[in-house]
């Protein structure tokens, strides 16, 4: 059980994070709005979007859930690893310095700057995009350094709290097991935020992170200090693991970045590498119809942030995709702006 002081400290830290990242969001929106109104015909969603009051209320519920999980001992009291104040301020400056370039791409609808025939020999074409109109796409050290801030700005400081909800079904799976005998792979691990959360909760678990971007894996290595984890460049369509070799596979915010055909290939890979009785813990964006009045936001997201495969993702039948791959969905629920799906492989 957490003490009243610990709970108050959590509330203060999360409030400060929300204020910090939400401030960046509104500052960014003012800049982008000015560019869009002069250079691009603005588009409006056909569906309703949530009110600010509704979103703030849902954010509060997310943080209540996060704190309740820590209070139950499911995972340690969160202390989001944003870095020392000088680094946070420096990253903020770099974020705003990059805004003019990203706004220009958005105004001109240019999302393929990073594409080249040379890179296509090494990486799938769908990955060679300036996702979110960000400089470098997912391919450069500068992009990797800014990524976490960009995501937290997008979600107003709630991204880590959403990711942590994946620890709950992991804790259920880990109950009664020797963590030293459990091998978990986080597919498309990015900068390693979730890997760090796992290691904080189960420091002796065997952990592997895979990602297509070597720059992001290098950033993840820094975030994971002093924890031990193996980081491996790999395509999720051909995971570097033997059949039936992993106890747990996790994947967070991957499916909306890939085409429909690739999602199905990856789902088969998840099932292939899991042991019988193993667990897939999957999180991605909300889908259409998941949460009342949120569909308008989902419609605008691919327009505002260059997400070419997002619209098809929001209409996917995820339990069917996983069932066709040989996995059984045991949980599926919206968590603020994300969706958590848990599947088990029959054993």
- What domains lie within the chain, and their CATH numbers? 159-344 (3.40.50.150)
Give pLDDT, residue 301. 87
Question: Cis omega before residue 77 (within 30°)?
Answer: no
CA distance 178 to 133: 44
Q: What is the tens place of the pLDDT at every residue in 254-282?
A: 999 999 999 999 999 999 999 999 999 99
Give the residue-averaged pLDDT of 11-40.
Answer: 77
Residue 28: pLDDT band (50, 70, 90) is confident
pLDDT of residue 34: 45
Give the C-alpha separation, 226 to 45, whole Å.
45
The per-residue pLDDT for 38 is 45
Mean pLDDT for 162-179 is 98
pLDDT score for 151: 94
250 within 8 A of 185, measured Cβ to Cβ: yes
**What is the spatial distance between Cα 124 and Cα 220, in angstroms, rounded to a whole number?**
22
Q: Is the pLDDT at 81 greater than 80, yes or no?
A: no
Question: Which pLDDT score, from 0 to 100, does residue 43 have?
Answer: 59
Confidence category of residue 44, pLDDT binned at 50, 70, 90: low
Question: What is the mean predicted confidence (pLDDT) over 83-96?
Answer: 89
Q: pTM of the prediction?
A: 0.94
Model confidence at 41: pLDDT above 60: no
Give the SS3 label for residue 133. helix
* Chain segment 281-295, per-residue pLDDT in tens: 999 999 999 999 999
Which pLDDT score, from 0 to 100, does residue 37 have? 45
Radius of gyration of the chain (CA): 20
Mean pLDDT for 159-171 is: 98
212 touches 123 (CB < 8 A):
yes
> In sequence order, what are the beta bridge partners of 344?
279, 328
- Per-residue pLDDT, 45: 64
Per-residue pLDDT, averaged over 156-165, amounts to 97
């Amino acid at each position: 059980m957490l003490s009243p002081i610990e709970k108050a400290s959590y509330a203060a830290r999360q409030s400060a994070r929300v204020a910090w990242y939400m401030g960046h969001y509104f500052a960014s929106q003012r800049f982008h709005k000015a560019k869009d109104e002069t250079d691009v015909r603005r588009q409006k969603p056909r569906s309703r979007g949530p009110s600010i009051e509704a979103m703030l209320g849902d954010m509060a519920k997310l943080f209540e859930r996060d704190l309740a999980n820590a209070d139950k001992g499911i995972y340690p009291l969160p202390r989001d690893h944003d870095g020392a104040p000088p680094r946070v301020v420096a990253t903020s400056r770099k974020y705003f310095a990059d805004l003019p370039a990203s706004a220009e791409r958005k105004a001109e609808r240019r999302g393929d700057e990073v594409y080249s025939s040379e890179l296509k020999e090494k990486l799938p074409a769908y990955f060679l995009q300036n996702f979110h109109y960000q400089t470098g796409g997912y391919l450069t050290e500068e992009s990797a350094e800014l990524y976490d801030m960009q995501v937290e700005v997008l979600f107003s400081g709630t991204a880590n709290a959403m990711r942590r909800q994946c620890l709950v079904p992991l804790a259920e799976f880990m109950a009664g097991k020797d963590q030293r005998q459990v091998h978990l792979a986080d597919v498309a691990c990015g900068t390693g935020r979730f890997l760090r959360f796992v290691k904080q909760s189960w420091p002796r678990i065997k952990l592997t992170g895979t990602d297509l971007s070597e720059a992001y894996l290098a950033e993840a290595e820094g975030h994971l200090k002093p924890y031990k984890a193996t980081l491996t460049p790999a395509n999720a369509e051909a995971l570097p693991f033997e059949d039936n070799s992993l106890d747990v596979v996790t994947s967070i915010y991957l499916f909306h970045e890939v085409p429909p055909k690739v999602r199905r290939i990856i789902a088969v890979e998840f099932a292939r590498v899991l042991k019988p009785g193993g667990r897939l813990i999957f999180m991605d964006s909300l889908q259409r119809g998941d949460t009342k009045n949120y569909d308008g936001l989902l419609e605008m997201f691919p327009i505002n942030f260059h997400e070419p495969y997002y619209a098809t993702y929001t209409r996917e039948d995820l339990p069917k995709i996983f069932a066709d791959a040989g996995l059984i969905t045991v949980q599926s629920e919206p968590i603020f702006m994300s969706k958590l799906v848990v599947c088990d492989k029959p054993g």
